[in-house]
C-alpha cells in the first residue's frame, strides 16, 4: 500500500490500523506515518489510562514523520474543544516532534504523574496528571527534569491560555482535579 500511495506523487498521510498486534511502533515508520498501538478505546477511565500507559512504552519510536496513534473516532463538543486547543496543537506540531514521556510518579502509587516532552527553543511541555478520584497537588522539581535547581522558568497554562508564573525556580506545583490533567509550557528566562 505504501508503494502505491507513494507512486501517486501526492502527499498522503498513511495511518496503519494494526491495533498493536505485532508491535507496529517498531516497524511502522518504514511503511506509514502513524500506527495504532492499541485496541479500540472505550469510554471509561480505565481504558483511557491503560492506553496512555501502553503508548508510553512506544515513545522512543515516535518522531517527525511517524507517530504512535490511538483510537479517536467519535467525540462530543467538549472533546472537540480540547482537541482543537491551538496551544496544545502547537506542542503536537513542534519541529522537534518528540513524544512526551512519564518521568515521575508519586512514591506510593502511579496515580500522580509528571509527563515531559522537549520542545524547540529549549522549552518543555509538562503535563501533571492526577489519576486519583480526589483532587491532589502535583509538583515537579527541576531535579525531576534533570536540570539545575537555580534555573528560572516562565510557565504558561495551555488550558487557561495564560502565563501563570513569571519566575519559577526549583519546582512548580498545582492542584489537579480528580481524573484530570494540567498542561504547561516551561520556557527558560
CA angle 185, 187, 189 (to 5 degrees): 155
| Residue range of the domain that includes 61 | 2-74
Distance between CA 94 and CA 185 in Å, rounded?
12
Say yes or no: 126 and 180 in one domain: yes
Residue tagged 507517530 (cell numbers):
67
How many C-beta atoms surround the C-beta of residue 114 within 10 A? 22
Distance between CA 142 and CA 39 in Å, rounded?
36
Contacting residues for 111 by C-beta, under 8 A, at least 6 apart: 105, 130, 131, 132, 136
> Is 83 within a domain?
no
Say yes or no: 39 and 67 in one domain: yes
109 and 118 Cβ atoms separated by less than 8 Å: no
The secondary structure of residue 18, as a DSSP letter, is -
> Is 125 within a domain?
yes
Cell triple for 152:
528560572
> Is 79 within a domain?
no
Domain boundary at 21, 41, 74, which?
A: 74
Say yes or no: 53 and 123 in one domain: no
145 pLDDT more than 90: no
pLDDT at 108: 57
Contacting residues for 29 by C-beta, under 8 A, at least 6 apart: 61, 65, 66
Closest C-alpha to 91, from 154, 153, 183, 188: 183
> Is 82 within a domain?
no
Distance between CA 189 and CA 174 in Å, rounded?
20
Domain count within the chain: 2
**Arithmetic mean of pLDDT over the chain:** 88
57 pLDDT more than 80: yes
> Is 69 within a domain?
yes
Mean pLDDT for the stretch of residues 58-69: 83
Tell me the pTM: 0.68
> Is 88 within a domain?
no
Mean pLDDT for the stretch of residues 106-111: 69
Strands (E), 24-107: 34-36, 67-69, 101-105
Q: What percent of the chain has pLDDT over 90?
A: 46
How many C-beta atoms surround the C-beta of residue 112 within 10 A? 20
Say yes or no: 139 and 175 in one domain: yes
Say yes or no: 98 and 160 in one domain: yes
40 pLDDT more than 90: no
Say yes or no: 106 and 163 in one domain: yes
pLDDT-derived band at 127, boundaries 50, 70, 90 = very high
Say yes or no: 104 and 167 in one domain: yes
Say yes or no: 104 and 170 in one domain: yes
Mean pLDDT for the stretch of residues 38-43: 80
66 and 34 Cβ atoms separated by less than 8 Å: yes
Say yes or no: 66 and 113 in one domain: no
pLDDT at 116: 95
Q: Give the range among 23-32, 46-55, 71-80, 127-136 with minimum mean pLDDT.
A: 71-80
> Is 31 within a domain?
yes
pLDDT-derived band at 58, boundaries 50, 70, 90 = confident
Say yes or no: 181 and 101 in one domain: yes
Amino acid at each position: 500500500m505504501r508503494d502505491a500511495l507513494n507512486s501517486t506523487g501526492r502527499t498522503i498521510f498513511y495511518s496503519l490500523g494494526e491495533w498493536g498486534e505485532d508491535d507496529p511502533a517498531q516497524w511502522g515508520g518504514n511503511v506509514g506515518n502513524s500506527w495504532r498501538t492499541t485496541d479500540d478505546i472505550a469510554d471509561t477511565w480505565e481504558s483511557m489510562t491503560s492506553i496512555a500507559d501502553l503508548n508510553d512504552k512506544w515513545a522512543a519510536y515516535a518522531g517527525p514523520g511517524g507517530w504512535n496513534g490511538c483510537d479517536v473516532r467519535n467525540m462530543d463538543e467538549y472533546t472537540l474543544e480540547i482537541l482543537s486547543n491551538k496551544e496544545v496543537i502547537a506542542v503536537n506540531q513542534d519541529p522537534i516532534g518528540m513524544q512526551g514521556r512519564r518521568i515521575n510518579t508519586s512514591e506510593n502509587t502511579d496515580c500522580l504523574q509528571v509527563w515531559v516532552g522537549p520542545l524547540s527553543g529549549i522549552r518543555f511541555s509538562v503535563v501533571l496528571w492526577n489519576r486519583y478520584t480526589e483532587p491532589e497537588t502535583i509538583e515537579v522539581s527541576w531535579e525531576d527534569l534533570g536540570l539545575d535547581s537555580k534555573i528560572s522558568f516562565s510557565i504558561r497554562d495551555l488550558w487557561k491560555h495564560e502565563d501563570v508564573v513569571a519566575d519559577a525556580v526549583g519546582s512548580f506545583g498545582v492542584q489537579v482535579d480528580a481524573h484530570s490533567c494540567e498542561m504547561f509550557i516551561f520556557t527558560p528566562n
